[in-house]
Amino acid sequence: MPIDTFSAESAQRWALDLAWSLWTELGVSGQRRSHSNVGVDLEPLIVATAYLSRFDARLRDESLDWCVLNVSYVSSDRLRNFLRTVDENLRQAFGPYSATVKKARRVNWPGDGRPFAFSATRRSLPPDLFRPALVQLRLRSAFGVSGRAEVLRWLLDQPDHFVGSLELALKSHYGKDNVADTLDLLARAGLLQETVMTTAGNQRVFRLDRQASIVPALIDWVKVPQQRWDAVFRVVVRLIEFAQAKPVKPAARAVAIQEMLADLQSDLRWLGTFPRLRQGVDAVNQDFDRWAITALQHWARRATD
């Protein structure tokens, strides 16, 4: 049954549908794959799942099962860096989840907490690296769980587009110096073209060099667009928390909406979505609700768009 009203229950349901679909793409025992047409981003998914699994114990257990089995694909550095960009509720939720994985495997994941009572379900499958949505993991298998694989993923997403180190650092969740060094090394190896963007303060920018023999083959690996799942999950969690707060008075709710949207402005700009709010308290509430449920449905049902 379609959900056409914005509430804590509907926001949680769409968020869980989204998480389940992405995990199923990775090999978790799930029933629905709706994201075979968009790249998965592992670390934001793991952190968001630690929060969302409070609404679904099976999601927690099955995703932990996958993480314990496939921990070698996960970047501790990216987990740590992504956690710096999320709110305290997400960081606190990640502590016990991380502790559970660390109890089962010797890994340097960030976060502390009391581990869950966990036993492996053994229903997860190894990820199929030839699924188009799993190009991130395929690149990590080839180039290591490193900034190099992540920088290449975003360069391959738009192979003819010049990109600077700051943008790639934001997208990759590696430090700017790390990304700059990676770009220099890839350029020295002949994989990248470099130019200077005078309109942006003489910034050095890079793109793939299609003349390099390996580049056309790598471009062929990326058959689907890469999504800013880090931004999506930050927005999704804020929407859930806003719906749970349930401001009583419409005027107070309208003010809270404006404040939240201001906080989310950067992520919404990356995602290319922002609600058009008419004047007036009732109009603001109605327009926001319509936008919120449309956005949640879009992210949860990407493959059907």
Given 221, 252, 285, the domain boundary residue is 221
Tell me if residue 204 falls in helix, strand or coil. strand
Given 194, 221, 248, the domain boundary residue is 221
Mark whether 118 and 37 lie in a shared domain: yes
Answer yes or no: is 227 within a domain: no
Percent of the chain with pLDDT over 70: 97
Mark whether 13 and 111 lie in a shared domain: yes
Mean pLDDT, the chain, as a whole number?
94
Mark whether 136 and 57 lie in a shared domain: no
Per-residue confidence band for 5, with pLDDT thresholds at 50, 70 and 90: confident
Mark whether 24 and 93 lie in a shared domain: yes
* pLDDT, position 200: 65
- In this structure, what CATH number is given to the domain that contains residue 178? 1.10.10.10
Report field, pTM of the whole predicted structure over 0.85:
yes
Answer yes or no: is 226 within a domain: no
Percent of the chain with pLDDT over 90: 89
- C-alpha distances out from residue 256 to 8, 240, 253, 266, 278, Å: 16, 14, 5, 17, 15
Instruction: Give the count of domains, the chain.
Output: 3
Given 71, 103, 128, the domain boundary residue is 128
* pLDDT, position 133: 98
Task: Name the region of 122 (left: φ>0; alpha: ψ -120 to 50; beta: rest).
Answer: left
Q: Which of 52, 44, 43 is nearest to 89 (CA)?
A: 52
Mark whether 21 and 109 lie in a shared domain: yes
For tokens 């949640």, what's the residue? 296
Answer yes or no: is 71 within a domain: yes
Residue range(s) defining the domain that contains residue 170: 132-221
Q: What DSSP element (H or E) covers 299? A: helix 281-300
Mark whether 19 and 62 lie in a shared domain: yes
